[in-house]
């Protein structure tokens, strides 16, 4: 897939996702990013890690201990066979800092990182990522 095709795929995906109502564990940040990775690669990191994201209860398991969230995301990415990258490109996924004290998974959307939040879409500056994985 060319860079232009990846950008079009990401933008089409974001547009479709934003038409869906926000639902914790389904269309939240984790569910949105997991579906994107599965769409692009055929692999769900969440399922590869032996977990599911079907509802708010499933989502809560990822955030019971805030520090464990990052560990679980790392393990899910590794279980799915995804490699870390320091130079993410459009369509890759990462952990980003939208605000102080907040970290969330997101999709590299070209000019920003995209994620979902209960308040709507998050567009995070492209340089505000901590870790990223090639998809």
What single string gives the DSSP state of each residue in 97-126?
A: -SSTT--EEEEE-SSEEEEEETTEEEEEET
* Helix 56-63 / helix 66-79 crossing angle, nearest 10 deg: 110
The confidence band for 135, taking pLDDT boundaries of 50, 70 and 90, is very high
pLDDT value for 109: 98
SS3 60: helix
pLDDT value for 65: 67
Per-residue pLDDT reduced to its tens digit, 61-116: 877 766 778 888 898 999 999 999 999 999 999 999 988 778 899 999 999 999 99
Residue ranges and CATH numbers for the domains of the chain are: 3-133 (3.90.1720)
pLDDT value for 66: 66
CB contact at 8 A, 134 and 92: yes
Per-residue pLDDT reduced to its tens digit, 37-53: 999 999 999 989 888 88
How far is it, in rounded angstroms, from Cα 125 to Cα 129? 8
Half-sphere exposure of 92 (CA within 13 A, CB side): 22
């Amino acid at each position: 897939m060319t860079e232009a095709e990846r950008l079009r795929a990401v933008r089409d995906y974001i547009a479709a996702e934003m038409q869906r109502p926000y639902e914790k564990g389904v269309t939240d940040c984790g569910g949105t990013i997991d579906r994107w990775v599965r769409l692009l690669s055929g692999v769900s990191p969440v399922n590869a890690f032996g977990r599911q994201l079907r509802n708010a209860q499933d989502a809560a398991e990822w955030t019971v201990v805030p520090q464990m969230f990052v560990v679980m995301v790392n393990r899910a990415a590794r279980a799915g066979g995804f490699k870390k990258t320091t130079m993410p490109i459009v369509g890759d996924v990462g952990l980003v800092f939208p605000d102080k004290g907040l970290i969330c998974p997101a999709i590299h959307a070209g000019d920003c990182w995209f994620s979902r939040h209960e308040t709507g879409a998050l567009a995070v500056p492209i340089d505000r990522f901590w870790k990223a994985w090639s998809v």
